[in-house]
Structure 1
Amino acid sequence: MKTYQELLAGYDRFRSGDWKKQHDRWEELKVGQSPQVMIIACSDSRVDPAQIFDVDPGEIFVVRNVAAMVPPYETTPGQHGVSAALEFAVEFLKVRHVMVMGHGMCGGCKAALSKSMHGAALGEGGFIDKWVSLLDSARDPIAAEFGTEGRVAERAMEQAAVKLSLSNLRSFPNVADKEAKGELFLHGSFFAISDGVLHLLDQDSGEFSPAS
């Protein structure tokens, strides 16, 4: 794993390599960004959307958080980071596609399934518990059918989280309106760390299938 100093050495390589090779691209980005796709992904260090989709700078607008979750639309006071990013992407960048990308071996989904952080103090797991409690409605039927341990249950939880986030996306009035008008398209996906295969969600059948 890279140390902090190795990251800085990587920056030096970027400045002397990709920055110069893509100078024209970076010049274009000075005036703004116009990505067509927003990706909501997990913070997990193994799942980098830019690497998985092999894109250049400025091509995707990315939000990453624990378990790649979208909270439901709400107007209560608070700091709504995901909602703010979604609003910016949909209303100001005018993205055409929003993809929720879950992944295998997700620690957030595992915590939601096992309730391992339940009752923990803030700063000692409590923030994680409060965040992944958003998945409780998806968790309960999975726990009843598959239990709360093992890869079968965990994968079911990981994929159910994608579906729940898509449902929550549609609770945003502007998202639902633009989708109904054909101005915005929502997608679900699941990246399997074990074999590097991306699975796409068929929203009619509810099934995930390999992209290729």
Structure 2
Amino acid sequence: MAVCTKEEEYRVHDVEKFIGGFRRFQHKYFGAHNALFNSLKAGQNPTTLVIGCSDSRVDPALLTDCDPGDLFVVRNVANLVPPFERDGSHHGVSAAIEYAVCDLEVQQIIVLGHSGCGGIRGLMRGYEPKTEANFVGNWVRIAQPAREHVLRELAHKSLDHQVRACEMASIIVSLDNLMTFPFIAERVDAGSLALIGWYFDIQQGALYDFDQTRNGFVSLVGAPESANP
């Protein structure tokens, strides 16, 4: 009889957890009260595109308590938006943005950053390639302008302080990069599309919003009392 290793037991437990979760999802949305998915079967009509991080702790739908169909979500390392380019390469993020704006006609785009971002910390420290391709290092360099700003303005601060500042500054870089897409700039200028920058503080359980008039982040939802020391 084959004996499962501890690692195999963990994997089986994970898969069973996922299957159980799907059953609960199925019961909630495909059971007696299935009006939502009856409407979604005909197609999706989200009003919001969220560009979030691939970090397992930062699921946009969970954070905003949304139902299926509410959000069109793009997730990548460090929730970055590349600038608009016509170079014939494969642009997964740009393709998703184009589809959300031009086909789904979303009304707002939220760039959702967060504290404790490994991609931004790697950028600030100087990312060490794990493979010859160095996909991560090349990708996070999209936020190089944020890194340079932080090193210039906060050179005397600790690495942790610099990383937090860069996490916020990189959101602004992504918002600026969104405006390099002609079809986005056109809609923003016409008032049919809004760009929003949010920062989720995992340590405090708080949410911050980028205020363009102040050129900084302001509290949108404060930390719960249970998170305060």
Structure 2-normalised TM-score? 0.86
> Which residue is equivalent to 2:141?
133
Residues 78-137 of structure 1 show CA distances to partners (whole Å, capped at 9, x for unaligned) of 1101111111111111101001010000001111111132x55336xx111010111112
Kept after mapping to 2: 8 A contact 1:37/1:98: yes
Structure 1 unaligned regions, length at least 5: none
1:5 maps onto 2:13 in alignment: no
- Cα distance in 2 between the residues matched to 1:164 and 1:55: 26
Identity %: 37
3-state secondary structure, aligned to 1:17: helix
- Structure 1 counterpart of 2:100: 89
| Distance (whole Å) between structure 2 residues aligned to residue 57 and residue 121 of structure 1 | 36
The 8 Å contact of residues 78 and 119 in structure 2, kept in 1 or not, is answered as yes
Contact 1:100/1:165 (<8 A) preserved: yes
CA distance, structure 1, for counterparts of residue 209 and residue 108 of structure 2: 14
Against the structure 1 CA distance between its residues 30 and 59, is the aligned structure 2 distance closer, same or farther, given a 3 Å change threshold?
same
Does structure 1 retain, via aligned residues, the 8 Å contact 2:29–2:37? Answer: no
- Answer yes or no: is 1:51 the counterpart of 2:62: yes
Distance 1:22 1:109 in 2: 42
Counterpart residue identity of residue 65, structure 1: N
- Residue type at the aligned position of 2:62: Q
Q: 134-143 vs 84-93, which deviates more?
A: 134-143
Q: Deviations over 1:145-186 (max 9, x none)?
A: 334853211110100110000000000001000100111110
Q: How many residues of Structure 1 are paired with residues of Structure 2 in the alignment?
A: 209
Q: Of residues 140, 151, 154 in structure 2, which corresponds to 1:143?
A: 151
Higher gyration radius (CA)? 2
Q: Provide the rounded CA distance (Å) in 2 between the counterparts of 1:92 and 1:75.
A: 19
Distance, in Å, in 1 between the alignment partners of 2:81 and 2:23 is 35
Aligned-partner Cα distance in 2 for 1:22–1:39: 27
Map 1:105-144; keep pairs closer than 5 Å: 105-117=116-128, 120-122=130-132, 126-144=134-152
Match of 2:168 in 1: 159
Once residues 113 and 166 of structure 1 are traced to their aligned partners in structure 2, the CA distance between those partners, rounded to angstroms, is 20
Post-superposition offset of 1:18: 4.1
1:19 aligns with 2:30: yes
The match for 2:180 is 171
Letter of the structure 2 residue corresponding to residue 129 of structure 1:
G
Contact map agreement 1:114 1:149 (CA 8 A) in 2: no
Which whole-Å deviations, capped at 9, do the CAs of 1:53-83 have from their partners, x for residues lacking one?
A: 1111101111000000000000002110111
1:150, 1:136 → 2: CA distance?
Answer: 16
Letter of the 1:105 partner, please give it: G
TM-score normalised by length of structure 1: 0.92
Q: Which runs of 5+ in 2 are unaligned?
A: 1-9, 222-229
Aligned AA (2:147): R
* Aligned residue among 170, 189, 196 for 1:180: 189
